[in-house]
């Protein structure tokens, strides 16, 4: 029997504003779509946080035995500088500034994105489609929306008719906005625009002569609107209706609202059963964002090379820091927060690393199977990783008590403890049991220092067999000693 039959997940659905029992459309299968990055610059830690939330959700669903098709796109065209269908394409702009091809920009930052996610131990999605690879599908959707009377063409551009759509459906259903309020809050058109109403959004834009990212279409040589790609790719790979759609909170409006409208206008049904939105990573009280300069890059965390932090942190420490907050809570990035997480992370790893040395007894003083179910309960409750981590620490405390003799564990329970840590710490949270050294650890340095001094003593005593043994065995463990006139130093692989 697959685990998902005994574990019931509740998901907070942004559409209903409530936690709902998760029931996939097809028993045993989950279709999940997450809006991917616009690859015009390096991903910052805020972007990583949103993608990490869905990496953990993907991991947990897989652990429960679901066959998950997880689609996360790459936006490589159509995302303009602002949300009002104006400004330059972000990728084209970067290409112009750097005097390179737009596709060189796309390649550079897609590679960076993958490298960063690998460092954070992400699982790759099942499909990673690109907007430019799906121009034909986007054109087909525009044609059907026009046929259904919900889009209009002006001067080679096509716009979605929000007012007409709102006569029969609710534009604003996801972000809880009313069209009347939107009308009230937007400036009137300045006469330059082709749109009938300022709330309408572009499905296709005619390219100006200088716009190099362009494709032929029935309306003009141009490019698709940003919201359209996600409708095209999610429908193509997951169907007209699928289970989960995710992204950062800031995408709810207009991006996801427009996705719902497009899918409704094209297929006549609501595309997604569970809308999930991850909250923002903030720094200095403001949203982390490339455009304002208020951001930190993952590589700066790993090197310590940023004024906001006092030292380097291992990727798993940064991962642990982010998962100590629930995905729907705002998370404030601070050096103190990272320092505290680093301590906590190594405390957890130290407890896990004790598991193989524990002595077993006839019975246990801790109810391990009840604890295991608590771990599941935490994740079943809208993927509550901070509660899961707190629960893991309950067992870490128990492990330390067994070690110092104030508690006992049976052989069977010890096995269950090991399995459960493997599942939740490594498979679900995606943490890596790294030696502390990758963050410039003090403890590892101290330990190697002791061995260096022992080797020095051995050499002074002319016990070269022992001094060579220390050097060789350290090398086997990936630690190289280097002798110089100033003394001995070490490097790690
Ligand atoms: P973009 O490349 O700008 O389309 O953003 C990629 C993803 O990162 C989207 O899901 C955004 O919602 C998300 N995102 C952007 N800034 C932040 C932030 N400060 N905290 C969390 N997620 C963010
Ligand atoms: Zn999207």
Give the model confidence (pLDDT) of 216-225 as tens digits.
Answer: 999 999 999 9
Q: Are residues 294 and 267 in the same domain?
A: no
Residues 291 and 219 in one domain: no
Asked which of 401, 428, 455 is the last residue of a domain, the reply is 428
Please state, in angstroms and rounded to a whole number, the distance separating the CA atoms of residues 390 and 385: 9
pLDDT at 447: 83
**Mean pLDDT, the chain, integer:** 94
pLDDT value at position 342?
A: 97
Please give the pLDDT value at position 431.
98
**Which atom from ligand 1 is nearest to the alpha carbon of 250?**
12
CATH number at residue 24: 3.40.50.620
In a domain, 435, yes or no: no
pTM of the model: 0.89
Residues of the chain with pLDDT under 70: 188-191, 435-443, 484-487, 493
Q: How far is the CA of 227 from the centre of ligand 2 (A)?
A: 6
Residue 190 CB burial class (10 angstroms; 0-12, 13-18, ≥19): exposed
Q: Report the alpha-carbon angle 394-374-415, nearest 5.
A: 70
Residue nearest atom 9 of ligand 1, based on CA coordinates: 248
Comparing CA positions, the residue from 231, 254, 261 lying closest to residue 150 is 261
Residue 243 covered by a domain: yes
Q: Specify the pLDDT at position 85.
A: 79
Residues 305 and 174 placed together within one structural domain of the fold: no
- pLDDT for 441: 59
Centroid of ligand 2 to alpha carbon of 56 (angstroms):
19
Q: SS3 for 277?
A: strand
Within-domain flag for 433: no
Which pLDDT does position 435 carry in this prediction? 60
Q: How far is the CA of 273 from the centre of ligand 1 (A)?
A: 22
For residue 252, the ligand closest to its alpha carbon is: 1
Among 35, 246, 250, 295, which residue has the most ligand 1 atoms within 8 Å of its CB, making it the best to mutate? 250
The pLDDT of residue 151: 98
Q: Is residue 205 part of a domain?
A: yes
Residue ending a domain, choose from 392, 407, 428: 428
Q: For residue 44, give the ligand nearest its CA.
A: 1
Is residue 7 in a domain? yes
Domain count, the chain: 3
Give domain status of residue 32, yes or no. yes
What is the number of the ligand 1 atom nearest to the C-alpha of 50? 22
Distance CA 306, CA 309 (A): 6
Q: Does 477 lie in the same domain as 407?
A: no
In this structure, are 420 and 473 located in the same domain? no
Q: Tell whether 248 and 102 lie within a shared domain.
A: yes
Same-domain pairing of 300 and 266: no
Q: What domain range is 239 assigned to?
A: 3-278
Q: 225, 256, 278 — which closes off a domain?
A: 278
Q: Note whether 389 and 301 are same-domain residues.
A: yes
Q: Is 406 part of any domain?
A: yes
Question: Has residue 434 been placed in a domain?
Answer: no
CB neighbour list of residue 312: distance below 8 Å, 6 or more residues apart:
301, 302, 303, 304, 439, 440
Q: Which residue in this structure is represented by tokens 């390649």?
A: 107
Residue closest by Cα to atom 6 of ligand 1: 37
Of residues 151, 129, 270, 127, the one with CA closest to residue 217: 151
| CATH code for position 423 | 1.10.730
In a shared domain, residues 143 and 115: yes
Give the model confidence (pLDDT) of 398-448 as tens digits: 999 999 999 999 999 999 999 999 999 999 999 999 764 444 556 677 788
Residue of minimum CA distance from atom 8 in ligand 1 = 47
Calculate how far, in angstroms, residue 79's C-alpha sits from the geometric centre of ligand 1.
13
Spell out which residues line ligand 1, taking CB within 6 angstroms.
35, 37-38, 46-47, 49-50, 247-248, 250-251, 280-281, 287-289
DSSP of 357-402: GPPPBSS-SS-HHHHHHHHHHHHHBT--HHHHHHHHHHHHHHHHHH
Whether 244 and 213 map to the same domain: the answer is: yes
pLDDT value of position 485: 58
Residue 335 and residue 197 share a domain: no
């Amino acid at each position: 029997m697959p685990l998902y039959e005994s574990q019931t997940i509740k998901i907070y659905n942004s559409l209903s504003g409530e936690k709902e029992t998760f029931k996939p459309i097809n028993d045993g299968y989950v279709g999940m779509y997450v809006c991917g990055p616009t690859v015009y610059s390096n991903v910052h830690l805020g972007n990583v946080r949103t993608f990490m939330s869905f990496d953990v959700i993907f991991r947990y669903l897989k652990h429960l035995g679901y066959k998950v098709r997880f689609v996360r796109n790459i936006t490589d065209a159509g995302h303009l500088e602002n949300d009002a269908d104006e400004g330059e394409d972000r990728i084209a702009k970067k290409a112009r500034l750097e005097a390179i091809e737009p596709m060189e920009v796309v390649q550079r930052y897609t590679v960076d994105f993958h490298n960063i996610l690998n460092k954070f131990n992400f699982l790759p999605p099942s499909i990673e489609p690109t907007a430019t690879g799906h121009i034909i599908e986007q054109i087909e959707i525009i044609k059907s929306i026009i046929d259904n009377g919900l889009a209009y063409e002006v001067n080679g551009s096509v716009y979605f008719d929000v007012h007409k759509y709102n006569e029969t459906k609710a534009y604003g259903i996801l972000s809880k906005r009313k069209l009347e309020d939107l009308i009230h809050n937007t400036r009137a058109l300045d006469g330059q625009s082709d749109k009938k109403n300022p709330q309408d959004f572009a499905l296709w834009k005619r390219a100006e002569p200088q716009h190099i990212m362009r494709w032929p279409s029935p309306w003009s040589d141009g490019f698709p609107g940003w919201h359209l790609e996600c409708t095209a790719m999610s429908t193509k790979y997951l169907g007209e209706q699928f289970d989960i759609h995710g992204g950062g909170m800031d995408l709810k409006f207009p991006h996801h609202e427009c996705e719902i409208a497009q899918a409704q206008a094209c297929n006549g049904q609501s595309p997604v059963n569970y809308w999930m939105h991850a909250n923002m990573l903030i720094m200095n009280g403001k949203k982390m964002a490339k455009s304002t300069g208020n951001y930190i890059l993952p590589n700066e965390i790993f090197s310590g090379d940023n004024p906001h932090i006092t030292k380097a942190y291992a990727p798993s420490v940064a991962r642990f820091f982010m998962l100590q907050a629930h995905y729907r809570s705002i998370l404030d990035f601070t050096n103190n927060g990272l320092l505290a997480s680093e301590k906590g992370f190594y405390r957890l790893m130290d407890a896990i690393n004790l598991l193989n040395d524990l002595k077993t007894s006839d019975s246990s003083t801790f109810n391990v199977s009840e604890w295991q179910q608590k771990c599941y309960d935490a994740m079943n409750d809208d993927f509550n990783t901070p509660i899961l981590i707190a629960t893991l620490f309950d067992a870490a405390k128990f492990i330390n008590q067994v070690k110092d003799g104030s508690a006992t564990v049976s052989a069977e329970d010890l096995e269950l403890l090991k399995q459960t840590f493997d599942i939740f710490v490594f498979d679900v949270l995606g943490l890596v049991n790294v030696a502390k050294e990758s963050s410039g650890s003090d403890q590892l340095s101290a330990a190697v220092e002791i061995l260096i001094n022992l080797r020095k003593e051995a050499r002074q005593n002319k016990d070269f067999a022992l001094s060579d043994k220390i050097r060789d065995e350290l090398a086997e463990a990936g630690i190289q000693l280097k002798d110089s006139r100033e003394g001995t130093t070490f490097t790690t692989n």
